[in-house]
Structure formats: structure tokens, C-alpha cells
Amino acid sequence: MSGFSSKRRILLTASAAVALSPFLAGCNKKELAFQGSDISGTQLGRDLDMQDGDGKPRKLADYKGKVAVVFFGYTQCPDVCPTAMAELSQTMELLGADAAKVQVIMISVDPARDTPEILSAYVKAFNPAFVGLTGTPEQLSKTAKSFKAYYAKSSGGTADQYGMDHASSFYILDQEGEARVLVSGNATAQDIAADIKQLL
């Protein structure tokens, strides 16, 4: 009886070790503690389909190999967008040499007014390496849905003069193009840089 119990204990111990091995292996990996919200596994942004400043079609795969920071906004935004872009510009300064491994992307929620040329000039005024993506209303709808990003024309205004309501968060995607962090639009450059560094 005692021999049976010993064998049973050995089998149970071996089974437990096998079952736990994936978790134990995970313990050896670097633990990531983001300042923003961890959105790993959500696959947000997979259907990005827009045009860059040269009118060239762009997909998420085009930025593989770099950590991508995506922001939805528009060039005629009076306050939120320029503040966010300035914060991202400061983030790149804080990253130093690592900034070369990061791609900041602003996606326009106002394609009617934000032509590729206008948007490109706008983002590059904050940092020459920044990329602006615009496109047709259909492309924007598909891309925004992929990120679950809200945008809508504000009430009031005229056909040419109007505002856009939009989400102001930053989406950070790792070098494989996987969505990893959702950072508040109120986050500091230091916090954004800290989350980016963990993915480099």
C-alpha cells in the first residue's frame, strides 16, 4: 500500500510539473508593467488600411520591425491634437537613439480636409520622422473600427468649418504589429516613453 502511495505521489508530482511548465517558463520572461492599459491579445489595428503623404497605400505590416504609436486626430483640431503631437515629439526626444526604432502615426479623422500633403506637412512640423495617414471615408471607417476608435463630426458649423469629436488615446503596438498598450491622451511623455521602452 505504501509503495502504491509512493508511486502515486511521484506520478502526481510529475503530472503537476508538466502542467505547470508553461507557467514556470513564463516566469523567466521579463514581466511588463505598463503605465497604460495592457491590451495584449486584442488584435486592435489589424485592418489598418490608409494612405501616406505620397498617396501610397499603407497597412500595419508596413511598420513591422518598429514599435508603432498610433493617434487619431485632424489638422484643424484646436487643442487636443497639437498637444498630443507635441507630447509625442517630446517622447521621441526622451527615447534618444531608441527613437529610430519607433514610428509615430497620426491617422486623420477628417479625410475631407486632410489631404495626404496637408497631413504630412502637419505631422512633420512636430517631428520629421512622423507619418500621417489619411484616405477615403470608407478606409477611415474600416481602420477606426479595427482600432475601436470613435470619431464623428461635431454638431453645428458649416460645410467647410466644423470640428471633429474623436478618441484621444495613444495605441502602442509592438514590433510584430500586435496591439499592446492603450495610453490615455493625458499621459506624460515620460509615461509614454516608459511603455515604449518595454517593447523595444
Please give the annotated binding residues for Cu cation, written as ranges.
Answer: 77, 81, 166
Chain centroid offset of residue 124 CA: 19
Note whether 171 and 186 are within 8 A (CB).
no
Greatest C-alpha distance within the chain: 88
Give which of 84, 49, 52 is closest to 69, Cα–Cα.
84
Give binding residues as ranges.
Answer: 77, 81, 166
Grid cell digits, residue 29: 520572461
Residue 79 CB coordination number (10 Å)? 7
